[in-house]
Amino acid sequence: MNTRLKYFGQAPRSMRAMLVVLGLVGFSVLNVTEASAQMFGSNRDRNRNNVDARNRPSFGVKAGINKSNVWDEQGQDFQADAKIGFVGGAFLSFPITTYLGFQPEILLSQKGFQGSGTILTIPYSFSRTTTYLDVPLLIQIKPLEMFTVVFGPQYAYLLSERNTYSFGGNNTVLQEQFDNDNIRKNTLGFVIGADFNADHVVISGRAGWDFMNNHGDGTSSTPRYKNQWLQLTLGFKL
């Protein structure tokens, strides 16, 4: 009887000891698990931060200026000087490999020129501002994380045109003549340039040329020309 009482009297102490041991083991496991999670989490963050920026796709916006002029100009002793305009829009960057990528852009781009010449020995001058929707499709060559060379074709759609004229006392007639001309709205060209990358900031320089002149079907009586431009923009990757 006493033995049975002694046995049952010791049982609760054994269970308490076991619970204490299990509690200590569980607490140790939780601590190890939390430490492991923190270690692996920090490793993931470190690995994410160490990923080469050239291997990450990106989206951004940019804005700046165009210094535009014309080339291959013909007609009425036509001469032109450069003109400054606004450019701004968005870009996407898709890595193909570490050193090769694809970057399409969509830009609102002001081009134009300041021209002078003669019509029937009468001197005239005018300023033209053309606003285009430019879509360059650029190949990226990425020798360094901070430096990218880009080049590729560009499609441009003429959105609007603003002209200012000086032609003796016949300004209105000349303006109607120019405004009603058959001007080409869809143009193909070529762009080459470079991007300088500093974290989320991108400084871009471009040079571009149209392959097609401004005449829609050859019947335009305005001076014939093709656009060319230099471009400088400041961008931000979102």
| pLDDT tens-place string over residues 100-153 | 999 999 999 999 988 777 777 777 777 888 999 999 999 999 999 999 999 999
> Distance (Å, rounded) from C-alpha 174 to C-alpha 172?
5
Q: With a threshold of 0.75, does the pTM exceed it?
A: no
| pLDDT tens-place string over residues 57-81 | 999 999 999 999 987 766 555 677 8
| pLDDT tens-place string over residues 148-206 | 999 999 999 999 888 887 776 565 544 555 555 667 889 999 999 999 999 899 999 99
Instruction: Give the residue from 185, 212, 195, 109 showing the smallest Cα distance to 151.
Output: 195
- Beta carbons of 130 and 178 less than 8 angstroms apart: no
Instruction: Give the residue from 75, 178, 180, 88 showing the smallest Cα distance to 131.
Output: 88
CATH 2.40.160.20 applies to domain 54-237: yes
C-alpha 171, offset from chain centre: 40
